[in-house]
Amino acid sequence: MIMEKGISSVEVLPSKSSQVTAVKVVVKEPETKQTQRGKRVGFVLVHAGAGYHSESKAKEYKHVCKRACQKAIEKLQAGALATDAVTAALIELEDSPFTNAGLGSNLNLLGEIECDASIMDGKSLNFGAVGALSGIKNPVSVANRLLCEGQKGKLSAGRIPPCFLVGEGAYRWAVDHGIPACPPGIMATRFSLAAFKRNKRKLELAEKVETDLIQLKKRRQSNEKGSRVLCSACGRSPKASGGGKGGDQIELFSLENDSGTLDTVGAVVVDQEGNVAAAVSSGGLALKHPGRVGQAALYGCGCWAENTGAHNPYSTAVSTSGCGEHLVRTILARECSCALQTEDAHQALLETMQNKFIGSPFLANEDGVLGGVIVLRSCRCSAEPESSQEKPTLLVEFLWSHTTESMCVGYMSAQDGKAKTHISRLPPGAVAGQSVAIEGGVCRLESPESS
């Protein structure tokens, strides 16, 4: 049987920092379900990004999360590896035009799509990643192939197989290993092209404002008093606010990264044997510089998976989303995994998001720290006391946390008829980048009876 705890209520709690709001989830026991005879067990948790998810697109985000969960569970039920299941979930998320990964990713400054992706296997601890990859429809499939090829051992002449490739080299490796190329015109969607045009216009206006600011400073320095310089872009008088960083420019012409396009996708999986895997995929920030690589490709930053061992009482899997530069400088995926080895998973994740992310000394100069994570941890536990039979049971705790306005997630066990989805949002009054939301639940997976 399977017992699952789900969200029942939310309360706002004060945190150690006066600038942080923590959302605690109170869980309850729903009905138990009978495990089907001979059915393999497993669990998947996916996310469609930490950023902002409008109510108008909520249905699409939830639907793609449901499909991703179903793809992963189908793989697990067929006896596939955890890495194959997490890859199947990511491919479904990459193929959605509503997510910033694979198809429909953000375009860079040159109007091109360059994607990052990575995957980690908790059993072998092997890792595969690609960065700034163009011309491949599903970047996670290349990352997974790198992981698999790496497990085969050394190449000819004793060469070490690569685990992380970027740019043209990654593309050529993928094609050489049978992964089909995708014409660039297919990767961009009408949504991503429209966003690119809007962002390019904002950039042009912002650059005009910046030029006016420079001219104004020069005139002031030459003691030309009394003149009032108008901005050629918007007709306003340019003012250098925010410590001389061009605050008006940022307020007027900020790109769409802070309003819905931080939606990196990811998934974490545990299979019947207790093996965990994690993966992440992203198109990166809008109008990023060509060649920029974000957290989705970097070891310990985009995802982490590690089975239980001599020093780890729990198996853990983590996938991150948000501003790549913030996640890279805090190595958030591995930080979360390490923290989850303590007894209270909820408290451990909350403290990590507060102290290692929002309050990180590496991000002390940032006005707002934007990111989100999904995590799961699992361990073997004894059967219920009233049970006369000793069946192997897998206890799975799953959580998501974010400092962005919202985060869309979905989750499903192999015994569930359909996936559950949820858009987590910061409570009213909470400030994105300075507040933390955390939610989640627990499920118990019992191995199926032999037929």
Residue 1 has pLDDT above 90, yes or no: no
pLDDT at 185: 80
Q: Please state the rounded mean pLDDT for residues 379-394.
A: 68
The residue among 270, 276, 274 whose CA lies nearest residue 122 is 276
pLDDT (mean) for 55-80: 95
Longest alpha-carbon distance in the chain: 91
Spell out the residues 6+ positions from residue 428 whose beta carbon is closer than 8 angstroms to its own: none
Per-residue model confidence as pLDDT tens digits over 253-303: 455 444 444 568 999 999 999 999 999 999 999 999 999 999 999 999 999
Q: Which of 183-197, 323-337, 424-438 shows the lowest per-residue confidence on average (mean pLDDT)?
A: 183-197
CA geometry: angle 420, 140, 353, nearest 5 deg: 60
Residues 276, 269 contacting (CB under 8 angstroms): yes
**What pLDDT is stored for residue 9 in this prediction?**
29
Quick check: 244 pLDDT over 60?
Answer: no
pLDDT at 32: 37
Task: Count CB neighbours of 132 within 10 A.
Answer: 23
Answer yes or no: is pLDDT of 230 > 80.
no
Q: Return the higher-pLDDT residue of 228 and 84.
A: 84
Q: Which residues pair with 280 in a beta bridge?
A: 118, 266
The C-alpha atoms of residue 159 and residue 228 are separated, in whole angstroms, by 66
- CA distances 41 to 113, 381, 409, Å, are 37, 15, 20
Angle at 214 between CA 213 and CA 219, to 5 degrees: 95
> Taking residues 360-389, what's their average pLDDT?
84
Question: What is the mean pLDDT of the segment spanning 379-397?
Answer: 72
Q: What are phi and psi of 404, to 5 degrees?
A: -80, 175
pTM (predicted TM-score): 0.85
pLDDT of residue 224 exceeding 90: no
Q: Is 264 considered catalytic here?
A: yes
Q: Which residue has the tokens 């996670």?
A: 140
Of 110, 100, 108, the C-alpha closest to 139 is 100
Encoded tokens for 223 = 């003691």
- CA dist., res. 433 & res. 446, Å (int): 39
Burial class (CB in 10 A: 0-12, 13-18, 19+), 56: exposed
Q: What amino acid occupies position 259?
A: S
313 versus 387: the higher-pLDDT residue is 313
At 251, the pLDDT band (50, 70, 90 cuts) reads very low
**CA distance linking residue 235 with residue 248, whole number of Å:** 13
Q: Are strands 276-282 and 265-270 parallel, antiparallel or unpaired?
A: antiparallel
**What percent of the chain is modeled with pLDDT above 70?**
79
Query: What is the reported pLDDT for 204?
Result: 85
Cβ–Cβ < 8 Å for 76, 40: yes
Token pair listed for 338: 């390490």
Which member of 83, 99, 264, 404 is catalytic? 264
Separation CA 419–CA 423 (nearest Å)? 14
Across 184-193, 217-226, 333-342, 436-445, least confident range? 217-226
Q: Supply the mean pLDDT for the chain.
A: 84
pLDDT, tens digit, 9 for 90 and up, residues 289-309: 999 999 999 999 999 999 999
Distance, in Å, from the CA atom of 312 to the CA atom of 306, rounded to the nearest integer, reads 9
Show the tokens assigned to 449. 């009876």
Q: Summarize pLDDT for 117-172 with one digit per residue, the tens.
A: 999 999 999 999 999 999 999 999 999 999 999 999 999 999 999 999 999 999 99
The pLDDT, as a whole number, for residue 274 is 95
Strand partners, 281: 117, 265
Give pLDDT tens digits for 68-125.
999 999 999 999 999 999 999 999 999 999 899 999 999 999 999 999 999 999 999 9
3-state SS record for the chain:
CEEEEEEEEEEEEECCCCCCEEEEEEEECCCCECCCCCCCCCEEEEEEEEECCCHHHHHHHHHHHHHHHHHHHHHHHCCCCHHHHHHHHHHHHHCCCCCCCCCCCCCCCCCCCCEEEEEEECCCCCEEEEEEECCCCCHHHHHHHHHHHHCCCCCHHHCCCCCEEEHHHHHHHHHHCCCCCCCHHHHCCHHHHHHHHHHHHHHHHHHHHHHHHHHHHHHHHCCCCCCCCCCCCCCCCCCCCCCCCCHHHHHHHCCHHHHCCCCCEEEEEECCCCCEEEEEEECCCCCCCCCCCCHHHCCCCCEEEECCECCECCEEEEEEEECHHHHHHHCHHHHHHHHCCCCCHHHHHHHHHHHHHHCCHHHCCCCCCCEEEEEEEEEEECCCCCCCCCCCEEEEEEEEEECCCEEEEEEEECCCCCCEEEEEECCCCCCCCCCEEEEEEEEEEECCCCC
